[in-house]
Chains A and B, each alone.
Chain A
Amino acid sequence: MSKSKAPVLEAKNLVKTYGRVVAIDGSDLQLFSGEILAVVGDNGAGKSTMIKCLSGAELPDSGSMELDGAPITFRRQKDSRDAGIETVYQTLAVSPALDIAANLYLGREVRKKGVLGSIFRMLDNSGMKKSSKEHMTALGIGTIQNMSQAVETLSGGQRQAVSVARAAAFGQKVIILDEPTAALGVKESGQVLKMILNLREKGLSVILISHNMPQVFEVADRIHIQRLGKRVAVVTPKSHTMNEVVAVMTGASKVEIKDQTLGPIN
């Protein structure tokens, strides 16, 4: 896979404050094509706020963002989706009583062709079910066969699979995952990590926010370390150990610029 030198998604000098609380204080972020960038940091480091700015849930006070080199401003989540950025939330943002197909297409339902769709506004349920199944299978989640199954009947891992499948199905460029394994068991986490690797195979760029160092070291290409609202270092799992990353995260040590991996890795 060819990787261009220019980042897919770039944030420069983002600032976001809530009253007197400074959540991010001039933070940068670069995501290159086809990579998995892990964002790690202690509580209050500004990871979530950073992600909210990138996904349009919050509007940064200052700073700029670029997608494929073009400047972007997200006022609503819909703006970021329209630009090709999908977000998977920590809180498993699925509707329990609705079925899998309905959840995958929630908020962007497909209508039937012809008069039934245009005048009577009928949904193309069978079409949505069919393509839902394709999306689920594409991510290696072929075990769920029945797309009319209500999401509440699924296990935590399967529910997370539905949200990841939703993001993968509609994300054109970037997928942001906020602590996707926080609520999951070991086996289920493994499935989700495998799905994240599949997303990279499909050529998507992934931002993974996680507290779980072993998981980060397992899947990430580069690790963005956030501390006190700033990016303090970008390293790779090969160049640094877990202990070193934790030390930087907590402020116990620093990484010289020359030892960082700010550019894309090949």
Chain B
Amino acid sequence: MSKENTAIDAAETFKDRATTKQKVQTTLHNYPWLSSAAVLIAAVFVFNFGNENFLTTNNLSLILQQTAVIGAIAAGQTLIILTAGIDLSCGAIAIFASMVMAKTAFVNGWPGWAAFLLGIAVGTGAGAFNGWLITKVDLPPFIVTLGTFNVFSALTLFYATGRTIMDKELSPMFLYLGEPITLFSNFRITYGVLLVIFMYIILAFALRYTAWGRHVYAVGDDIEAARLAGIQVKRVLMSVYVSAGFIFAITSWIIIGRVGAASPNSGSNLNLDSITAVVIGGTSLFGGRGAIFGSLIGAVIVGVFRNGLTLAGVDLYYQTFAVGLLIITAVSIDQWIRKARV
């Protein structure tokens, strides 16, 4: 080996030597949900000092129930954000579907299952409408869903004539997901929470182990490369918006169970809350990066923050302030991770 080659080899070893900071960056790059899991553990630890009632089975089960709705919406939102899209209409779709279910059952006297299926169809159709505008009319997802957010909200108010349908007026089927199951002593979860966890497991499987999941990531990562690799990009996008619409429609059922009523005025913040959960969960808003379970962790983090700060006697304004800081921190970490030299 010549002298010159030795010098190059020495440089190569030096190049591969990573500092601790770089190692952290690389690890987070490979497992983006790690940082959110760390935040969750830290938050639980801190809030435990804030109030002794925080780490009780009773309170933890309450947090899970409070998180279920955001968690469910965030599942659909994650799919869309992975393709570098965004959905501002998700909450409006869920509320619209919930009103369709409740009103056709109560006012029009439809059997519960028929009203339920119609609600699911309406939600899925709304998602398909978003997908159609995005893939066929070629509009940016932000604009499309900003528009349909208003359209679906208005349709809901128009259809429901501003009236909330109370629990006494609903058949037990709609309230089923709010029923608690006692796991041990005071730790209760609702069927709604179980459904959310089940949804996440299915989505995680599809994203990780099927070609469809891989294509979702590829489309979000570099849409042109995906197209040139022979992926039917528009079909993948369409499937994502339709699946998300279906998930939002399922969420409407969870909402009715959680609230115990169907109200056209609720859920106006669901869109931003779900984006918050997704972002805190480590999924990149630029698409192609992230893990679905991160969003569940993200939703739980927001729930833990709100609950923990409330128990610690912190004003609601400061809670919102804290969530805001959390978002900015999460996105900063995402940007830093993207620069990782692996």
Contacts and interface: CB of A to CB of B under 8 A. Distances in A.
A91 B228 CA distance: 10
Interface stretch (A28-36, A100-108, A129-137): A100-108
Contacts of B205: 120
A109 interface: yes
A98 B210 contact: no
A111 B210 CA distance: 8
B167 interface: no
Contacts of B294: none
B229 A107 contact: yes
B293 interface: no
Interface residues of B, number: 22
Given A94-B225, A121-B211, A78 B218 contact: no
B96 interface: no
B272 interface: no
A78 B230 CA distance: 6
Interface string A73-86: 00001100100000
A106 B226 contact: yes
Contacts, number: 70
A122 interface: yes
Contacts of A89: 228
A95 interface: yes
B171 to A, nearest CB: 34
B119 interface: no
Given A106-B214, A122-B210, A153-B341, 15 more contacts: A81-B230, A89-B228, A92-B225, A95-B218, A95-B225, A95-B229, A95-B288, A106-B229, A109-B211, A120-B209, A121-B209, A121-B211, A122-B209, A123-B214, A149-B342
Interface of B: 205, 209-212, 214-215, 217-218, 221-222, 224-226, 228-231, 288-289, 341-342
10 contacts: A81-B230, A93-B225, A94-B225, A96-B222, A102-B214, A106-B229, A109-B211, A122-B210, A123-B209, A153-B341
